[in-house]
Amino acid sequence: MCKDVRVEQLELWPAPFAAGPVTGTVALPGSKSITNRAYVLAAQAPSRSTLTNALRSRDTDLMARALETLGARVDFLTDTTVAVTGGDLHGGDVDCGLAGTVMRFLPPLAAGARGTVAFDGDPQARARPLGTVLDALRGLGARIDGDGLPFTVHGDGPIRGGTVTIDASASSQFVSGLLLSGPGFAEGVTVHHDGKPVPSMPHIEMTVDMLRAAGAEVDTSEANTWRVAPGGLRAHDWTVEPDLSNATVFLAAAAVTGGAVTVPHWNPQSTQPGVQFADILSAMGAEVSHADGALTARGTGALQGVDWDLRDIGELTPTVAALAALADTPSHLRGIAHLRGHETDRLAALTAEITALGGRCAETEDGLRIEPATLHGGVWHSYADHRMSTAGAILGLVTAGVQVEDIAATSKTMPDFPALWHALLGGGS
């Protein structure tokens, strides 16, 4: 059973019901994954970097404030254009909220600061796995008190670095966090993974590509091993792609209502996991087309279930599960046991909420099995998880009476989600 992290009754949002096909174009804000990586890299450069189309959300604002606390300069030139200048890092208090990128990317950076850095976050964040990255840092020469939030990093300038072997099967962020600060370690860093396959590998590819763009030397020639040479990073001006994982929710709206939704500035070669959603939509019966740098999804009628390994794209699971709950044939979503350690236990949460609306969803060892069923209205709980909130919104398009608890959870990566959703539906419900 999914652990219920709610401590009070949160506001219920009546999910808009689509009276007909949903059509339109949705311009999405920047990618959280790219924005927060760019922040960390820019904070290590000696001169100013600029982020254009940077995401403004709770997770990215937490990252910006944390870096300012540690000594970097962050100037918002506009709401989505940010100038970041690195500085000598020092101690302070870091609020991680519920952001995995903050709690896993910043401890390696803090290890090279001069001073004590205290990390804490939201109550539910204290259950998220962190021991892997903290133990790895200890092996690389860092001094750390604690194995999870709250914890304290005692910095005394650049740490030794070197080679470390970890089990990153719970999160690719363990690898990315060590690599992003590796150029500042005296010996650089070599991270070797030993364990079950690493999930969300596209996010590690994103990290490697961005490190190289900032001047780092990265060797990926050996399987499950990443080497970052020591040496300073250079300033870089980043243009942040739209968040393709958030885009999947709007494309799903077309698929479930027989409509057509276009997302501009879609890069088919992106390292974002969301880029692979186009293949899933096609397999489920939607039509997908690329034209003029945009992607359009068209619903064609009944949805078909899929048997899909989502290991590399686990963050898409709530969207895919919502589609599967509306499909005419069964679905098996595999390779996603690691989702039990995300913002909430997403496998248990999806099972509980789909079932509560009349669906048929069951957990497997590493995923979900979802059978066709007729859904009905009811309360869809979010568990403070932004992707749970948006999954409820998808179901509400074609299921009257769905109420999403805590739609504000979407502020983690998409602060304007309710307005964007209503605008796509013509402002009504």
Q: Which residues are annotated as a binding site for phosphoenolpyruvate?
A: 32, 100, 128, 173, 346, 387, 412
- Name, in order, each residue with C-beta under 8 angstroms of 80's C-beta and a sequence gap of 6 or more: 29, 30, 52, 53, 54, 55, 56
The neighbour count for residue 197, using CB atoms within 10 Å, is 13
DSSP string, 299-320: --SS----EEE-GGGGGGHHHH
- Kindly report the backbone phi and psi dihedral angles of residue 242, in degrees, each rounded to the nearest multiple of 5, phi listed first: -60, 150
CA distances from 101 to 3, 97, 196 (A): 22, 10, 22
Catalytic, 222? Answer: no
Residue bearing tokens 């090279």: 112
Give the whole-angstrom CA distance, residue 385 versus residue 354.
15
List the Cα angle 141/89/60 in 5-degree steps: 100
Residue bearing tokens 């992003």: 180
Q: Are 422 and 25 in contact (CB under 8 A)?
A: no
The catalytically annotated residue of 11, 287, 315, 365 is: 315
Give the whole-angstrom CA distance, residue 181 versus residue 114.
15
Give the whole-angstrom CA distance, residue 279 versus residue 401.
31
Q: Are 238 and 51 in contact (CB under 8 A)?
A: yes
Q: Identify the burial level of 191 via C-beta atoms within 10 angstroms of its C-beta, where 0-12 means exposed, 13-18 middle and 19 or more buried.
A: buried
For residue 63, which of 44, 37, 85, 89 has the smallest C-alpha distance?
37
Give the whole-angstrom CA distance, residue 240 versus residue 236.
12
User: Which residues fall in the annotated binding site for 3-phosphoshikimate?
Assistant: 32-33, 37, 171-173, 200, 315, 342
- Kindly report the backbone phi and psi dihedral angles of residue 341, in degrees, each rounded to the nearest multiple of 5, phi listed first: -110, 20
Give the whole-angstrom CA distance, residue 303 versus residue 283.
9
Residues carrying an active site annotation:
315
